[in-house]
Every structure is written in structure tokens, then in C-alpha cells.
Amino acid sequence: MRAIRPAAAFCLGLVCATALSGCLTPRLKPTPSRAVVEARSAAGRKPAACGIDKLEDISPTVATFGFDLAVISQTGRQRLVRAAAWLKCNPGVEAVILPGAQNRGKPEHEKDLAAQRGQAVQAELRALGAGNVLRLMAPGATDPVQAPHLVIQAADRGW
């Protein structure tokens, strides 16, 4: 039988001790904070406000205005809040704003009123945090977009 040299025995003992030290010593992991646990559990899920999944359930959204006014009505504002929440949950979807006004006055006045209404809807959606593409069409234009998108109509109450 061959004797192990002291230097080799020392190196062999050092290697074995190093290898076993990882197995015998418990590794302590710090407890994650509540914010980290909540972020991990929410990963991949939509926020609670994202209850509406289908585009067909929200489009078209009609933002109403008072007669001859470019100020959004309370009902119209509530509809835009819902649309903005949906847009935030679906950032890849574009919104197309179709401004309109009833043809009861001079054509130039109605065209200007429709443009002001479209700009009011666009500004309100931006103020509500919708970071999506908001395409504002010309008054009286048809919807030319082929990809799935949210249609928002800026219109009179329709007395």
C-alpha cells in the first residue's frame, strides 16, 4: 500500500472540506419584502381595472357634448374614463377619434365645432393617462384604419 504524502493529504482534505462546507452550512435567503411578493404575484396579470377584455365590449365609445358646445358632458366624461382605463390595459391598441357635430348651423361653424370636440376628447384621454396612439380624424371623415382599434365618437347628445 502506498502512503499519501502529507502535502497531498492536506490538499485532498482542503478540497473535501470546501466541497462539504456548502452542503453542511445552511444558506440563508433574506425574506422578500411585501412589495416584491406582490409584484411577483401580479406578474402577467392585468390590473383589476382591466376587467373588459374584448374590444367589441367598449368600441365604439360615444363622448357626448351639450348643444353647440365643445365641453364634454358628465356622461361623456364617464365613458372616456372607462375607455382610458381599457386603453391603459391594452397599450398596443390605437384609438381613432371621429369628431362630429349636427348639421344645424353654418357648415364652417359645425366643422370648427367638430374639430374642437375631437381635440377635447383627445386632451381628456391624455389627461386620464392613455398613452396609446390617439388618431384624430378630420370632421366628417370615415374610419380608414384596418387594424383592431378603439373608435371614439365625439357627438351631440342627439336630441
Rounded Cα distance, 134 and 128, in Å? 13
CB 56 within 8 A of CB 148: no
CA angle, residues 48, 51, 55, in degrees to nearest 5: 140
Global pTM? Answer: 0.61
What backbone torsions phi and psi does residue 73 show, to the nearest 5 degrees?
Answer: -70, 170
Grid cell in block for residue 99? 369628431
Per the structure, how many domains does the chain have? 1
Residue 134 included in any domain: yes
Q: Is the pLDDT of residue 124 over 70?
A: yes
Residue 43 included in any domain: no
Residue 95 included in any domain: yes
Residue 21 included in any domain: no
Q: Is 95 helix (H, G, I), strand (E, B) or coil?
A: strand
Residues 131-151: tens digit of each pLDDT: 777 777 777 666 666 666 777
Instruction: Give the CATH number for residue 150.
Output: 3.30.1330.60
Amino acid at 26: P
Residue 74 included in any domain: yes
- Whether the upstream peptide bond of residue 60 has omega within 30° of 0, thus cis, is yes
Q: Which domain holds residue 100?
A: 63-156
